[in-house]
A and B are shown apart, each in its own frame.
Chain A
C-alpha cells in the first residue's frame, strides 16, 4: 500500500507513552457494570491514559442473518423486534420498507401516518433512555434514568394497548400495519405528546446546565466530521459532528416530506453535543408527532391486496434503509424466488458507529471511556445481531 493511501485511511492517532512505569492491559467486559450489555474493550493503559483500545464483539451474536435465511419473510418480522430491543417499531419499519421495495408494494396513507407516529414515539423513548444511561455512566446513579423510564413507561403502555406487547411489538406488515390505530389510541398518543414537552423541560433543567455533566462531557470524545463521514457514522452521532445528513430528509421515505421539522446539528462533535442533539431531536420529533396526529386521514391501515401468507417475491434484490433512532438501519435482501430470502443482511447503525470508538478514546482517562462509549448509543442486540 502506498503512503498516500495509508494517509487516506484515517488511522487512529497514536500518542506518546511517557516511558515511566509499565503499560497495563485491561479487559473491560464482557461483564462490566458500566457497559450497556455484554461488550468488551481491550484497553492498554499508561497510568490512567488510554493508549490503545480494541473493541471485542460477538458476545450477543444471535445469528439473526442465518435465521432470516431459513424462516419466511413474515416470520422474520418478530425477530427484527429483537435487534435493537429499545426500538422494535423502527426495526419493523425498516424491514417492511426493504420488503416493500423488493416486491413493489404500496402502502396506504393512513398506515404511513401510523408508522410515522409510532416511529417518532420510539425515537423519543430511545433518546430519553439513552440520556438516562449516559448520565448513569457519569455517576448520576439512577435519578435521570428513573425519570426517563417513567416517561418511557407511558409510551410503552400505548404500544402495549395497540400492539399487544411492551417491547416486542411485531406490528408492521408488508403493505401496512397489523391492526388499526383507533381513535382511543390516537387520543392516548395525543395525551402523551401534550405531556412530553414538560418532561423534556424538566429533563433539561436537571441536566443541561449541570456543571458535572459539562465537565465530564465538553471537549471529551471529539469526533471530526471528515472522519465521521469516512467511517460511515450515522444518526445523532454524525449530526453532533456537524454533518447534515438525516435519511428522513434525504430519502423522504414514507411521508416525511410532508412534515416540517429541522435537523439539529452539533458544532464540536463532543459528548455534550451528542447529548444536546438528542434532546433537540426529541423536540423535533414532538413537532412531527403534532402534525401527524392532526393530519392523520381515515382509510385502510393495510393494503387489502397485500399478501401475508405464502409470500414469494420474484428474484431480485433491494436495500431499504430508514433513519432509526441510532442511525441508518438498513436491510439488504436478495430473493431467489423462494419463500425465504437467499441473503438477509442487516446494516446495524450501532455496530458501525463503534468503528471510531478507539479514535475517540485515545488519550482520554480510563474513567471517560465508559462515558464516550455511552454517548455512542448502542444496543448490543444490534451490534452483534
Chain B
C-alpha cells in the first residue's frame, strides 16, 4: 500500500462531526446488563444463618456473628447471622450461587467508593 502522511485525517474529521463516543458519566446515567454483579445485598427474612456463604467465600468477606441462642422444641440452637465486610468483596458470585435459600443477590449499584471503610460493612442481617 502507498505510504502517505496523515492517513488518519478522514476518520478524524468523521469523528469530529459526529457525537462523541464518550459518555459524560457522572452527569448521565449508564445502562447495565441484567447479569451485572454489583454491590451484594441480603434479604434478612430469608437468611437462616446456615454459614455456607462464609465457608465458600474466597476473600473472607463474610463472618458469622453469634446472636445468642434460640429454643427450637427441646434443643437450644445457636443463632448466627452473616456480617459482610464489603470492602474486600471480589464479586465472584460464589455466595449468591451457593445460598440454599436465595437470600443473597447482586444489585446494580456499583458506586461504592468511600473514604471510610466502616460504611462498607453490611450489618443488615444482624438486626433481627
Q: Does chain A bind chain B?
A: no
